[in-house]
Structure 1
């Protein structure tokens, strides 16, 4: 029976792929580029959604109708519509693919079989055509390509001036690509036409240079999706798909010129354009019509004119962009007469560009790629400029023939905001998950049975030489073969428990590799948490829930209960024990004990009664977001200093440094005296040794706090923590989350937003209004300087935590020196009195020899005291 079901399933899958492949073969003959270019894409799907039959376009392409087969389109409803009245666009008659559409009332997915993995064009065509049954102008939906978010909360006005085409370059290593359309609840999704076509293999490089740096500083683009947002034909007319080798649109550049009088168009016959003989370029990169026109410097009627031609192009903050510039010297009469500079957002792209030396001829095509990092984009625009060099002889000139601008997917694997793709929650997925769960449960039961049999054969209590906890294996088997809780009888545990005192727990329980202060019985944990009462939950994380527990003597504890069936939870649990059993510091949350009964993973920590730093930052009922009192500036500085001391100890105080990897305001806790302590070491890693520069590891952390260099290179260093701490500093100063998708797009990312205002010299406009008038200007300068340096793009440019600590201590000294004694919060914490505006005055500070942490950690002075 099972074999029959399996055979039937496999057969259906093969039939599905065969149907897709036949459609693939039937459409390939309709999308071959012009004869001058020999590129035949392996995968060609051109679908006119909802159309009754094939649709022929003026450019020679044929779009097939989407078949009504579940193997091709998975949808709960089969809704095809056509326009009640033929729609018209401002640019002229519409292509026939826009008179029909597919409508989806629930998540629906197109599945495309791919004969050749790699980069593929994905073009989505939208026009909310008029239909009496469906108001497509009110449709709001999202579109994903596999795990990549293409559109989120997308909608269009009723009959826009022209159809909207969203164009992407998606890389996939699978033999299928799935396009999922997900309508907002109560709305619908729709699409008029879809294109999925193989892209030429060398169309987009895997690596390219960052603007403003040398070409040796390469950015890896191989794992990123791209969205084409603009293609501009400088100095020329609109280029339609009928005149492009890959059916692309190129729009005129005139609307983007900041000063049209500074440029004059140049043209040459298309047949004069030549491509390099070495085959490094072809019309697949750009058609000759792009290179046959250009914008050049206008005549200013002055000698030795010096000005730039500038194009200002809208950009979405929070994203990096791939900028491709196309050049072809169609203005010179002889070689080596044209030298000019290229700038992107004020950064030098190319200095003294000499096309003659690069192409060895006139009217020979050339292009250059750059990546403009999101931190370099301000005012939601990208400024592209070309201008003469200072050494240009004769009549200075500069040209640009074409421009392509592509958005690069962000850390959330998204091209539209900071939203991650959500998997479809269908019954098939549930069945698979259930099957996996049953299999894991069976394995777990087998292991438990084997362990039970083994323990029945062992000697009890102290006579055991070694044993393993049912869920915890030693982290370092070469050092010890025993679990850190094994080998103790019930009586010995009770005897150990009697050593507790009212103030805490005495003694260190040594077992194997770890030192644990106390071993709790499961019944003790149950009593302390009132049998894990949900009302006692004070936190929830990826590991599990955290409960407030209280012992019979009144001692309060934070009890973290993990899920023993979770591999990720197990890993984080082991990491936490490994680190906290070795570390003791005033500014690190202390591990008090643990429980090793009933297949439970339970850790017990000191209780931090004032919650997280985040709880005290955001205004809500009665104070902070959770009713906690807000903090004045002095106390915020003290908290930053405490957290910095904890991080500095992690990086330098242990035998081998430790990288936290998840620094954020919710992982900095406050005790009853508002002393800051770093917590949650589940993602931490041991720092590289002296012979290493980094730790290569999969990227983990929290969006908004994650080091972009770590994300790009997957190479972890202690400077990744420094970047995260810089975000924390700005969050504490501005009292807003690191990522807030509800804000306008140029404000979503706190780090980028704050740095933009810092560069404008107007940071005071985004400071938390509860403290804005109370900060000493010199203290603010010192604090912001520390935060800004932490957020440098590259780790080598960021300070150490020791340097950051020195600047924060200086900021506090400057603040205290200018704050009346009654206002100082050296021993208090809450903002329990009106804060008065302070004035700047000299603090009289001399140099600091060192800062002595109250835990005994001696912090050396930074190397840049003189700065």
Structure 2
């Protein structure tokens, strides 16, 4: 009897310690601020929820390996099914720095209010854990990386390649989403890790820009850039940001240009020397700039893209991308200018293909 009493007391103590730890994590992750703002968000039509660790564990079957959608440098993304049957994507990060903890609640309030058809919707977060988890809408058709390169890496199955007109549409939609984040979100948001793996495709193969986990709020009026530790992915990183650690909206412009190059050439953003599938190792951006300077940019384009999109449109896209890839950020266009130009070029390409039913169907 005494042994049972001692065991029960021990269990009770452990439970109280666990509850205190959860409450401490909740508070240090900004849970009290978010709780206070939930009513305001709801009244403005924003459905944002604070999930418990138990809900997240149940939704992902204990974060089962079979539920993994993808892995990245910052963490793992799982497919979850909530109690109401709705599918979500749960991002479980590995680490978070002190600044991110301090700013987390504020940034969640801002990101939760972003409403754009081509941006993955943030539905909520889990704060009663040491490293907060993010809950996003589930996007069913995998990443753009998988559709370009025929497979998206860890946790992603082999995906069908996109036809040329769909590639132009995805480029235009993604540009529009980033332009919205830069120019229309309040305050503006810089993505900081634009890449093909962070652009998802929904059931209609429409683009959904995702993973704002590395994002930063844009500089306040009058400020030129945000000083920050360099984050990003090899092959997509803005050289100026890499050298100065000064993040600006033009850093996203550079990275996005590399994504468009992937769409047009079918090549990877960075090909290591041992990658035998690539003809040239190293940076795709450098490879493209060198080809343009030698007058060979048409040759490196995907053959089907070259045939169906047309060389005149491709020449204009190449000119735009050269501006985006300028070593000096002030010489690059804004994301809004890029989006407008791509939309006009896409419209021209579609008009020139009116006699080809296959192209018209792919562009819808």
With the shorter chain as reference, the TM-score category is: 0.7 to 0.9
Which has a greater percent of strand? Answer: 1
CA gap 1:602/1:714 in 2 versus in 1, 3 angstroms:
closer
Match of 2:32 in 1: 482
Distance in 1 (CA, whole Å) between partners of 2:216 and 2:197 is: 19
Give 1:696 deviation, angstroms.
Answer: 2.2
Work out which of the residue numbers 674, 684, 693 in structure 1 matches 2:205. Answer: 674
Distance in 1 (CA, whole Å) between partners of 2:361 and 2:218 is: 34
Distance in 2 (CA, whole Å) between partners of 1:539 and 1:669 is: 12
Q: 1:649-664 counterparts in 2 under 5 A?
A: 649-664=180-195
Question: Aligned-residue CA RMSD in angstroms?
Answer: 3.3
Q: Given the alignment of the two structures, is residue 551 of structure 1 paired with residue 101 of structure 2, yes or no? A: no
Work out which of the residue numbers 354, 357, 361 in structure 2 matches 1:822. Answer: 357
Give a deviation string over 1:303-324, Cα, whole Å, max 9, x none.
Answer: xxxxxxxxxxxxxxxxxxxxxx
Q: Given the alignment of the two structures, is residue 792 of structure 1 paired with residue 323 of structure 2, yes or no? A: no
Distance in 2 (CA, whole Å) between partners of 1:815 and 1:770 is: 14
Give 1:485 deviation, angstroms.
Answer: 4.2
> TM-score, normalised to structure 1's length?
0.36
Q: 1:549-588 counterparts in 2 under 5 A?
A: 549-563=80-94, 566-568=95-97, 571=100, 574=104, 577-588=108-119
Give 1:769 deviation, angstroms.
Answer: 3.4
> TM-score, normalised to structure 2's length?
0.82
Q: 1:361-372 counterparts in 2 under 5 A?
A: none
Moved over 6 A (4+): none
Match of 2:6 in 1: none
Would the aligned equivalents of 1:683 and 1:700 in 2 still touch at CA under 8 Å? yes
Give a deviation string over 1:221-260, Cα, whole Å, max 9, x none.
Answer: xxxxxxxxxxxxxxxxxxxxxxxxxxxxxxxxxxxxxxxx
Q: Given the alignment of the two structures, is residue 452 of structure 1 paired with residue 20 of structure 2, yes or no? A: yes
Distance in 1 (CA, whole Å) between partners of 2:29 and 2:128 is: 16
SS in 2 for 1:767: coil
Work out which of the residue numbers 627, 636, 640 in structure 1 matches 2:167. Answer: 636
Q: 1:506-545 counterparts in 2 under 5 A?
A: 508-509=41-42, 517-545=48-76
Distance in 2 (CA, whole Å) between partners of 1:803 and 1:486 is: 38
Q: 1:327-346 counterparts in 2 under 5 A?
A: none
Give 1:657 deviation, angstroms.
Answer: 2.3
SS in 1 for 2:50: strand
Q: Which has the higher contact order (CA 8 A, sep 6+)?
A: 2
Distance in 2 (CA, whole Å) between partners of 1:639 and 1:816 is: 14
SS in 1 for 2:80: strand
Larger radius of gyration: 1
CA gap 1:586/1:610 in 2 versus in 1, 3 angstroms:
same
CA gap 1:780/1:546 in 2 versus in 1, 3 angstroms:
same
Q: 1:388-787 counterparts in 2 under 5 A?
A: 452=20, 469-473=24-28, 482-485=32-35, 508-509=41-42, 517-563=48-94, 566-568=95-97, 571=100, 574=104, 577-597=108-128, 601-619=132-150, 626-742=157-273, 747-787=281-321
Give 1:592 deviation, angstroms.
Answer: 1.1
Distance in 1 (CA, whole Å) between partners of 2:311 and 2:241 is: 33
Would the aligned equivalents of 1:782 and 1:807 in 2 still touch at CA under 8 Å? no
Distance in 2 (CA, whole Å) between partners of 1:528 and 1:618 is: 31
Give a deviation string over 1:515-546, Cα, whole Å, max 9, x none.
Answer: 66223344433332222210110011233211
Comparing 749-758 with 759-768, greater Cα deviation is found at 759-768
Give 1:799 deviation, angstroms.
Answer: 0.5
Which has a greater percent of helix? Answer: 2
